[in-house]
Structure 1
């Protein structure tokens, strides 16, 4: 019975048997498979390179099969293995051979391997226990490998996020500076925009990843302006999770709309009201539509000049949704409509991790 390891999996949880003479290979394979281990036999040096590429967890070899070509092939594999790896090799020795000579030869040839020697005949239970222990060691090494890979990925992602964040802050500062009429004006507007940015990053952090609920982005952005009147700002919409980048963009746009409403729109008067709602339609495909509607404020008219906030909102939302927002400066209050394919904003579902044998 043969249970070959899938090529290229690198699971480190299978046994490579090098026993080309007599029936040693067949016996070892049957014994190990009987105890639940995956096994692949290798006939010689020609096939060995391909087998080693599959990353065996343990090599079990009879000393007769360790000719110079095989020893060299294993040595090259050991040299190329990463720092976390220490390949266990189990060698079965005949009673008649010089154990000391073989140990010295292999220790010199394979300094990067954990070598275990058994003298034949060896009790089946003893051999199985030793190989199982070696596989357990490899599983621990695999955990170290995965931890290192995750750390590298985390650091790369952190570096990427920091660069993007600094670029965003720099852009916000430059555009705020150009529109500022005084140092106080610059400080106030820049602080508000940074607060909106920080709120979204806090929401993403609390969500535990690169995605955040749209409702959280809205709540954190509008919370400072709601005051004691719960009806002053009405928010409504279905549950939807968006990417970190989409959340950051929306938060900054909502901040600009809120700032404008406080200065010139509905939130500049006690009786003013703001409605923010979003819907998801399914025809012809999932489309996210977000509506900003002000009422009860002073009469509204189109601005005489386009400031930083309007330019940013139009540019950012066009990039985010794929279509420009509709800005209706109706006398009763500003009405902003933004819509686009949900796939442009929505976070992909978390991958389902299948459990394999360990």
Structure 2
């Protein structure tokens, strides 16, 4: 049996004569079903607009006005809806003709006919079955709405991904000195992008663990137990977009270290650390420190990687990172409110 707290669990009664409406209302209320009555065309239209679970119509209520109002409501239903209508007909009524007429006028409804007098248990069972059928229809509606929303979200994400890929390609193209270099750099950046999306997908939500993002991004440099890049920091969940930005920055730093910095030598190492302050307005700090490589020197003209890192980290944290060309090795320090990335 349906409970009284269900928003679907109410019945609209159209019974203008005798004591039919009172009887039906008393019967249904005894079984925790909410009941409303409607008298007159205006009231019928108003109650129908509030989407009853089931409509119960007696023979006497089948006036031309009521037929037309219900027909208009049924015709305006969405595709998932097939409103249940229970019709109580007199024994002497021309059942076949009435059924044919109502099937034609209310073709978008689910009609159930009873001949009066009808057993109380039979009528109650029919109304409860109709309410359950309506509940299933609403579940279909909710499923359709979720599907539509998921498609919209997928479309939005695909557009964002394509925009990111386009931007990465254009910046890679402008900074490349050869086709082979462009191909290699572009491929590496796409791999970094895809790894972040994998982390977020596997996390099952909009946030992902920073440690997992770092692990995936740095995994190519941590083969056979030779950890060229080590990292440490507390477990932190960050937003998908923030994770993508950081992964691309880590990828650019690692690529730069492989070409010019610590990873260009066998004994070179990189240490990536992050920390979160304990104050109420927590500050997230990231530190990339290289050692054991050639002497770091600031280039006369920064390449795409450094320009991207400065721009991306500034946009993420609200302040530019410190990129220090220390003779002992490159250092990059970025800090900002944790609320910007979580």
- Give the TM-score of the pair, scaled to structure 2: 0.90
Deviation, 1:4, is: 8.9
Indicate the larger mover: 176-185 or 60-69: 60-69
Matched, 1:255 2:256: no
Matches of residues 1-358 of structure 1 in structure 2 within 5 Å?
12-229=8-225, 231-346=227-342
The Cα shift of 1:229 comes to 3.9
Q: CA RMSD of the aligned region, Å?
A: 2.3
Provide, for residues 4-30 of structure 1, a one-character-per-residue CA deviation record: whole Å limited to 9, x for no partner: 989xxxx54432222344432233233
In the aligned structure 2, how far is the partner of 1:40 from the partner of 1:201? 52
Structure 2 distance, partners of 1:17, 1:322, is: 62
- 1:261-303: CA deviations, max 9, x gaps? 1112222223322222222335342333322222232222222
TM-fit CA distance, 1:200:
1.3
CA contact (8 A) 1:13 1:138 kept: no
CA distance in 2, matches of 1:232, 1:343: 31
**Secondary structure at the counterpart of residue 299 of structure 1:** coil
- What secondary structure sits across from 1:60 in the alignment? strand
Q: 1:53-95, CA deviations, whole angstroms, 9 ceiling, x for partnerless residues?
A: 3322211122323333332222121111111111110111233
For structure 1, which segment, 235-244 or 181-190, has the greater mean C-alpha deviation from structure 2 after superposition?
235-244
Aligned length: 340
Please report how far the alpha carbon of residue 163 of structure 1 lies from its aligned counterpart in structure 2 after TM superposition.
1.7
**Following the alignment from structure 1 to structure 2, what is the Cα–Cα distance between the partners of residues 137 and 274?**
63
Partners of 2:273 and 2:249 lie apart in 1 by 15
* Structure 2 counterpart SS, 1:303: coil
Contact 1:256–1:309 (CA under 8 A) maintained in structure 2: yes
Cα distance, 1:116–1:201 mapped onto 2, change above 3 Å: same
Question: Offset at 1:149?
Answer: 1.6
TM-score scaled to structure 1, two decimals? 0.87
Structure 2, unaligned stretches of length 5 or more? none
Gap change, CA 1:40 and 1:310, over 3 Å in 2: farther
Residues 282-328 of structure 1 show CA distances to partners (whole Å, capped at 9, x for unaligned) of 53423333222222322222222121111111222222222222222
